[in-house]
Amino acid sequence: MNEGMFSVFQQGLSLLLSFDPDVWAIIGVSFSVSLRALAFILLPSILLGFALAVTRFPGRGTVISLFQTLQAIPTVVVGLITYLLLFRQGVMGDLRWLFTQNAMVLAQVFLAMPVLVSLSYGAFASGDWRAWETARTLGAPRHRAFFTLCHELRAPLLVAVIAAFSRIITEVGASMLVGGNIHNVTRNIPTAIALETSKGEFAQAAALGTVLLILALIINFSLGTLRNQQEGLRRG
């Protein structure tokens, strides 16, 4: 059994190192979709987190709780909601996005935004605002003071961005529902692993699984480094 598993991962590694076109096309779809989704929500989500931290209005606590709750929404539920929006009789049916990468991007936007808003809000709510106050005292406009504050809080904000990316790069339910797992079009790493495993094609599944393992190690290392920097700044 161990020899068989070793052989499968050896074949998978060989597919990666030989730049197998199918494997790398799948990897390309995953990163293209997830990075586009993250790019669309990056600034709006951080601005919303900032607004929730600095403003007071009726229902503010409910809005914050809603975003925090939505962080844990199952990916397949997000996929279903996106599907209902995009199918022919849906609100966004005229776009004809269903079973395209655009549909996957939209679903991942819905998945990543609550994570990024909630963690950005936490960063601003617990952060050191002296940079903001100094910038405003020196006459900087609000938008410049905002970016100065973001620079000072870059470690927790980067944690928020990485957490949002890790939420969407590994999701399978939403991508399967709205993307359709179409070869060379919408097949990403998680949906390809599910398909290849069901077919008994373990080498390609192992190759893609190895990519996710490496990505998980990089993400965890990055988060650990950023958290250590945060602790160092607080102690300093």
Token pair for 183: 């070869």
Long-range Cβ contacts of 226-235 (<8 Å, 24+ apart): 226/155, 226/156, 226/158, 226/159, 226/162, 227/155, 227/159, 229/155, 230/155, 230/156, 230/159, 233/155
Residue 160 is assigned to a structural domain of this protein = yes
Give the domain extent around 76. 23-230
Give the CATH number of the domain where residue 133 resides. Answer: 1.10.3720.10
Residue 61 is assigned to a structural domain of this protein = yes
Give the pLDDT confidence of 221-232 residue by residue, as tens digits: 988 888 787 666
Residue 209 is assigned to a structural domain of this protein = yes
Angle between helix 142-152 and 21-54 (nearest 10): 120
Residue 11 is assigned to a structural domain of this protein = no
Residue 58 is assigned to a structural domain of this protein = yes
Residue 1 is assigned to a structural domain of this protein = no
Residue 13 is assigned to a structural domain of this protein = no
C-alpha span between 155 and 171 (Å, rounded): 25
C-alpha span between 234 and 61 (Å, rounded): 27
C-alpha span between 218 and 187 (Å, rounded): 23
C-alpha span between 175 and 148 (Å, rounded): 37
pLDDT in tens, the chain (236 residues): 455 788 898 999 999 999 999 999 999 999 999 999 999 999 999 999 999 999 999 999 999 999 999 999 999 999 999 999 999 999 999 999 999 999 999 999 999 999 999 999 999 999 888 889 888 888 989 999 999 999 999 989 999 999 999 999 999 999 999 999 999 999 999 999 999 999 988 999 999 999 999 999 998 898 888 878 766 666 65
Give the pLDDT confidence of 109-128 residue by residue, as tens digits: 999 999 999 999 999 999 88
Mark out the alpha helices in the chain (DSSP H runs). Answer: 2-17, 21-54, 60-70, 75-86, 101-125, 130-137, 142-152, 154-169, 173-179, 189-199, 202-235
Q: What is the pTM of this model?
A: 0.92
Token pair for 77: 């539920």
Per the structure, the count of domains in the chain is: 1
Residue 37 is assigned to a structural domain of this protein = yes
